[in-house]
Amino acid sequence: MDLRQLRYFVMVAEELHFGRAAERLGMTQPPLSQSILALEQELGVILFARTKRMVALTPAGAQWLPHVHKLLDDAAALPEIARQLSRGEAGLLKVAFVSTADYSVLPPLVSGFTAAYPAVQVTLLEQTSDLQIEALLDGEIDAGFIIPPPQAALHPSLDYFALLREPLVAAIPEAWAREGRIRCVTGKVRLVDLEAEPLIIFPRRTAPAFHDLITGYYAVSGAEPRIGQEAIQMQTIISLVSAGMGIALVPRSLENLGRAGVRYVALEGEPPSIETGLVWRRDNPSPTLSRFVGIARTLAGEVR
């Protein structure tokens, strides 16, 4: 069975007359009749009831017709799909992200990309930066939003560029601020006034760059962090702050995560900034990935 036979079947089904169908197809009737008969024999199904006076679809033939229409329509679309795939306008894209990106660069980039290329199926996966690097090297994802390690520590097969730099702010229990347990002078808080409070932080094994940024900030400020809880998701960290389990230092974009019982307060002085960027394998030939990186570069210029 081939597409030619299926087109012959549709033409005869439309005309219910072998002669008129053959004329429309630009052929003589005998080869058309032979082709339909061969199709029926291959299927083991009678598609047309034939008499000297008429041709009619059998019940099986009538019910098969819409399936054949769909297959032929899909086949007709294949050349354009191939061209879209070659241009990166269709296909699959697997993207991972750290939880902090979900409140800053991820939503506008993904929404902008899917609006521009609706035929691309984007799959999103939340992962810590270290797991994203492993997944990229193993070919399990196409790109990732990470908090980068030092550039010297980035694998040489990966490309990276920064999307956003933003300062850390303090997330504190609202009740503590109301009670005066933490003093917020002119809407800001000093790190020294947080030193005695339990700190909720990412474990170093899963987010070394972020962990070291925070503990290093304590060190240069002459303070000693008192780690009370560790959590690997930013939503969990904020939930623990809401429950009064401690304070956290988080990217400023986390203010977009409104949570009852949590107050976000700017840090006095010059708090450290955290960077979020896009990483991908430079030997990935996917044109869809190239499109995604292009839109990401445009976004980076808008948010900086």
Query: Does residue 78 share a domain with residue 219?
Result: no
Residue 20 sits in a domain whose CATH number is 1.10.10.10
Count the domains in the chain: 3
Tokens of 198: 């339990």
DSSP string, 98-145: -GGGGGTTHHHHHHHHHHH-TTEEEEEEE--HHHHHHHHHTTS-SEEE
Together in a domain, 184 and 267: yes
Q: What is the pLDDT of residues 159-179, one digit of tens each?
A: 999 999 999 999 999 999 888
List the CATH number of the domain containing 229.
Answer: 3.40.190.10
Q: Are residues 114 and 215 in the same domain?
A: no
Beta strands 248-251 and 48-50 are unpaired
Look up the pTM and report it. 0.76
Task: Point out the domain boundary residue: 87, 114, 139.
Answer: 87
Same domain? 290 vs 203: no
User: What range does the domain containing 31 cover?
Assistant: 3-87
Q: What tokens does 176 get?
A: 């503590």
**pLDDT tens digits along 204-257:** 988 888 999 999 999 999 999 999 999 988 899 999 999 999 999 999 999 988
Residues 64 and 106 in one domain: no
pLDDT, tens digit (0-9, with 9 covering 90-100), for 248-283: 999 999 998 888 999 999 999 899 999 999 999 999
